[in-house]
Structure 1
Amino acid sequence: MTHRFSSHEPTHGHDTGGVPWAGRTLTGTGFDGDSGTADPELAALLAQEAPDEVALVAAVGAARLIVPIVAVPSEIDDSSGIPVDARSDMASVTLVAPDGQRAMPAFTSTAALAAWNPDARPVPVTAQRAALAAVQEGCDVIPLDLPAPPGSPAATLRPSMVWALAMARPWRPAHEDEHVAAAVAAALAGESHVVSHTLAGAEGGALRVELELAPGLTQEQVRELLVSVGERIAADGEARARVDALAFAVRSA
């Protein structure tokens, strides 16, 4: 038998660092009986062309996800004249879109992961742990069940959804979110030119703030008002995390 480390003999009772095997305890992952199949409720929602997003995020939160881990070279040996990996580390996968948006893919089953990359190691995690990892890695979104390219994911969890999963709280669209409503109201407080406002959903999950303004404002005054209100909403960090995009619609009273 050829060993990767020529000076190491596993039967001598220790690892390559000299640490004895004896006394070590292997702890379970919490998914010891996991068959690797997708959660039925989540799979049914992902099969729909336009699933209810509230139900989808709730199903993701209750399901087990699988994140891919791949080997990346950490040390190159070129002593033979041909560079080869002398040592590799395992790392989670991060994808970067042309616009700079970062994504951490996750899968609902080992079959879905194998279809995307058969060499990736499947690691089962809770949805909260996956979301926390995405936030820590600076990933904006989590695509679910990426197919082998070319293609598109079965669904993509937007930043507000990832944040809700990381915080282990229910997700609501921004225009139905009480914290967002309070933040918008606070941002508009004292704006004498705003007669009334309503919140609505927009394309791509954006929040549309519809403002009824007093007549007589110039275009520049309206622009300054919108910039000021937008900055005040963004200053509320929790509201910013719950809003994927912000748009305004204005009309005269």
Structure 2
Amino acid sequence: MRRRRPPGALVPVAKRELPGHIAAALAGAGGPTDSAGVPWEGRSLEGEGNPLHQFDKDNGQADAGYAAAVQALVTGTGTEAGVVESLATARVYVAIVATLGEEATSDHGLTADKEADLALVTLTAPDGRKALPVFSSVDALAHWHPEARPVAVYAPRAALSAVSEEAQLLVIDPGSDVTFVVRRPAMWALAQQREWVPSYEDGGLAGIVAEAAGQESAVRQVRLAAGGGVASRTAGGTLVSGGGAGPELRIILQLAPGLDAAGVQSLAAAFQQRLAGHPEFVERVDSLELKITR
């Protein structure tokens, strides 16, 4: 039975090739031996630093640090950057589904699966961008896709997989009470295991924007703020000050009086073109909205 999705919802899309570390994790599962042909029988998977399984004590629940960071964000005491920071050491689950690779027909005319592939699930966001869904707990994944298989990874590895899949977004717990979207700059920082500073709080970025605006004599003031797409809502409708899919950065240009509509449009186009040609700005900003004031 096909489940109906609300308009604008993220749509699951199966990708046939798996990232190497997930394929390796799956290769040794479900059989009498590991991927090197060594029998599982008689071997203990417990113990600190055991290379056979990093999550042998995993209970399938959400990482405590991530859960606390999200709760703080919902109550207004936390920040978007704090949630991303919590993911640096958090275990998450990626969703794997079986897809039919080849069908075969028996002597009795019955159709059966001859080959099946395991596929990493990706999403298509409403704006057309590709996203990788990950889940903080087994229950969250099962609620979203009962037939998907959870594979435990650290969040930076999941972010690295998203980058390799050419995804622009990492979506945490889609369909849950709180869905948190990690945009491209934060996702890249997570994959590289470095600190992420939101573009609307980035002093260095403010300098780049000021330099670009300074080339227009009509600009009297320029300010940076969080974009309208930074905020999100819980499933119950509570407004949350982070985790949205964008626009991420709002630039407010205050102009001197005297420019007509065509002049304002020309100035805005030239300003945005300068920013688009600045590699550092492009790397650190996911999405932009420009506001003109007098």
1:37 aligns with one of 61, 66, 73: 61
The residue number in structure 2 matching 1:6 is none
Q: Are positions 1:134 and 2:162 aligned together?
A: yes
Judging changes above 3 Å, is the alpha-carbon distance between structure 1 residues 28 and 236 closer, same or farther for their aligned structure 2 residues? farther
Gaps spanning 5+ residues in structure 1: where?
1-14
Amino acid aligned to 1:44: A
Amino acid aligned to 1:141: L
Judging changes above 3 Å, is the alpha-carbon distance between structure 1 residues 202 and 235 closer, same or farther for their aligned structure 2 residues? same
Corresponding residue SS for 2:135: coil
The residue number in structure 1 matching 2:132 is 104
1:165 aligns with one of 187, 190, 202: 190
The residue number in structure 2 matching 1:21 is 37
Amino acid aligned to 1:31: F
1:146 aligns with one of 164, 174, 178: 174
**Alignment map for 1:40-189 (pairs within 5 Å):** 40-47=64-71, 49=74, 52-80=79-107, 81-147=109-175, 153-189=178-214
Contact 2:66-2:87 within 8 A present in 1 as well:
yes
Judging changes above 3 Å, is the alpha-carbon distance between structure 1 residues 46 and 78 closer, same or farther for their aligned structure 2 residues? farther
Amino acid aligned to 1:178: G
Amino acid aligned to 1:59: S
Gaps spanning 5+ residues in structure 2: where?
1-32, 41-49, 231-247
Number of matched pairs: 232
Judging changes above 3 Å, is the alpha-carbon distance between structure 1 residues 37 and 86 closer, same or farther for their aligned structure 2 residues? same
Corresponding residue SS for 2:225: strand
Contact 1:106-1:145 within 8 A present in 2 as well:
yes
CA distance in 2: counterparts of 1:83 and 1:99, whole angstroms: 38
What's the offset of the Cα at 1:101?
Answer: 2.9
Q: Are positions 1:207 and 2:254 aligned together?
A: no
The residue number in structure 2 matching 1:239 is 281
Amino acid aligned to 2:37: W
CA distance in 2: counterparts of 1:204 and 1:176, whole angstroms: 15
Larger Rg: 1
1:85-122 Cα offsets, whole Å, 9 max, x none, are 21112111112245423221111122322233343222
Corresponding residue SS for 1:209: strand
Report the more deviating stretch, 210-219 or 85-94: 210-219
Contact 2:94-2:153 within 8 A present in 1 as well:
yes
CA distance in 2: counterparts of 1:136 and 1:238, whole angstroms: 21
Contact 1:179-1:239 within 8 A present in 2 as well:
no
TM-score (ref. length: structure 2): 0.68
Contact 2:252-2:291 within 8 A present in 1 as well:
yes
Report the more deviating stretch, 110-119 or 194-203: 110-119
Judging changes above 3 Å, is the alpha-carbon distance between structure 1 residues 22 and 142 closer, same or farther for their aligned structure 2 residues? closer
Judging changes above 3 Å, is the alpha-carbon distance between structure 1 residues 238 and 31 closer, same or farther for their aligned structure 2 residues? farther
Q: Percent identity?
A: 39
Amino acid aligned to 1:56: V
Judging changes above 3 Å, is the alpha-carbon distance between structure 1 residues 183 and 83 closer, same or farther for their aligned structure 2 residues? farther
TM-score (ref. length: structure 1): 0.78
1:197-222 Cα offsets, whole Å, 9 max, x none, are 12112211231212222332222121
Judging changes above 3 Å, is the alpha-carbon distance between structure 1 residues 22 and 249 closer, same or farther for their aligned structure 2 residues? closer
Contact 2:88-2:190 within 8 A present in 1 as well:
yes
Alpha carbon RMSD of aligned pairs, Å?
3.0
1:119-165 Cα offsets, whole Å, 9 max, x none, are 32221212111112112223232222234xxx665322233332331
Amino acid aligned to 2:96: I
CA distance in 2: counterparts of 1:111 and 1:99, whole angstroms: 28
Contact 2:87-2:156 within 8 A present in 1 as well:
no
